[in-house]
């Protein structure tokens, strides 16, 4: 039986006026340390209970995923989307964040179901194909692995920072800060992940916190600056897949 996360509720209310007020202070605070204090003191337990309640109420469980992994993944997504809430419109943060979490997990369940159905259809139609030599394709033998991919990505980011770019492709200050942070994490990924809370069982929250600490950027700035480096990753990954390495 899974233990309930967080502290015990007070009078049955875990997301009330105190948390609604804390959300406003959290979103308007520029100092990362103070934001973190507000989150830990007023919001962490409320978010934990809210996500747990949504999972159990709507039965949004994922096959092959533990409750803790699903909870942690949803919390990471919620933190990334936290800045999207506009408290000036007079809406309740509880309703907004609850909807984000429910829709995110529901989307994952739908995606899992589609994948499972496609897999079943594929497996049922390949029994005769597997025995036919003309449908057999052997991938090239290669020793390329995850560590090589990490090295390649780091090298490409370093080159991108050197060239700087021109016009619309010119590096912004935030992109340069984020690029330096990504290079540090990629070049030292073994030590960085090992030193994270939970060791090898790291999640997106821990990685995001490491980037924030190193680059000195807020989550929304990281999300915008990351677009440049996602393109680099996509190009490298596509190239390796086309060559049969991944």
- Rounded to two decimals, the pTM is 0.47
- What is the per-residue burial (b if ≥16 Cβ within 10 Å, else e) of 189-210? eeebbeebeeeeebbebbebbb
CA 193 – CA 188 distance, rounded (Å): 9
CB 62 within 8 A of CB 109: yes
| Residue partners of 51: CB distance under 8 A and separation at least 6 | 71, 74, 75, 78, 101
CA 160 – CA 170 distance, rounded (Å): 10
Range from 25-29, 48-52, 162-166, 176-180 carrying the lowest mean pLDDT = 162-166
Tens of pLDDT along 145-196? 677 788 888 888 888 888 766 666 788 899 899 888 888 888 887 766 666 5
Q: Which of helix, strand or coil describes residue 222?
A: helix
Would 126 be classed as within a structural domain? no
Q: Which of 112, 133, 155 is the last residue of a domain?
A: 112
Would 131 be classed as within a structural domain? no
Q: Which of 49-53, 144-148, 179-183, 232-236 has the highest mean pLDDT?
A: 49-53
Would 184 be classed as within a structural domain? yes
Identify the CA nearest to 106 among candidates 56, 53, 61, 51.
Answer: 61
Would 133 be classed as within a structural domain? no
Structural domain count, the chain: 2
pLDDT of 123 strictly over 80: no
Q: Which of helix, strand or coil describes residue 172?
A: coil
For residue 170, give its domain range: 146-242
Would 39 be classed as within a structural domain? yes
CA 58 – CA 62 distance, rounded (Å): 12
- Same domain as 91, residue 25: yes
The token pair that represents 62 in the structure block: 């994922």
- pLDDT band (50, 70, 90) for residue 115: confident
Would 67 be classed as within a structural domain? yes
Which residue would you say has higher pLDDT here, 27 or 159? Answer: 27
Would 34 be classed as within a structural domain? yes
Region 55-70: mean pLDDT is: 92
Tens of pLDDT along 63-104? 889 999 999 999 999 999 999 999 999 899 999 999 999 999
- Same domain as 201, residue 158: yes
Would 130 be classed as within a structural domain? no
CA 154 – CA 179 distance, rounded (Å): 9
- Same domain as 154, residue 108: no
pLDDT value at residue 208? 77
Q: Which of helix, strand or coil describes residue 109?
A: helix
């Amino acid at each position: 039986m899974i233990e309930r996360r967080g502290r015990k509720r007070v009078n049955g209310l875990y997301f009330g006026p105190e948390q609604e007020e804390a959300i406003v202070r959290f979103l308007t605070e520029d100092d990362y340390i103070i934001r973190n204090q507000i989150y830990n003191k007023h919001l962490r337990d409320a978010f934990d209970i809210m996500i747990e309640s949504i999972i159990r109420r709507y039965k949004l469980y994922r096959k092959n995923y533990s409750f803790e992994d699903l909870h942690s993944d949803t919390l990471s997504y919620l933190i990334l989307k936290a800045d999207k809430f506009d408290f000036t419109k007079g809406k309740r943060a509880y309703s907004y964040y609850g909807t984000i979490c429910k829709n995110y997990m529901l989307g994952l369940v739908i995606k899992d179901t589609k994948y499972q159905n496609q897999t079943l259809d594929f497996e049922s139609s390949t029994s005769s194909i597997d025995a036919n030599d003309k449908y057999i394709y052997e991938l090239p033998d290669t020793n390329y692995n995850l560590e090589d991919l990490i090295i390649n990505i780091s090298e490409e980011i370093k080159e991108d920072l050197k060239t700087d770019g021109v016009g619309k492709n010119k590096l912004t200050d935030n992109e340069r800060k984020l690029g330096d942070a990504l290079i540090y994490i990629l070049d030292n990924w073994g030590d960085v992940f090992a030193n994270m809370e939970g060791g090898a069982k790291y999640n997106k929250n821990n990685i995001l916190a490491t980037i924030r600490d190193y680059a000195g950027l807020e989550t929304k700035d990281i999300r915008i600056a990351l677009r440049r480096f996602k393109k680099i990753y996509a190009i490298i990954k596509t190239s390796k897949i086309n060559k049969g390495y991944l």
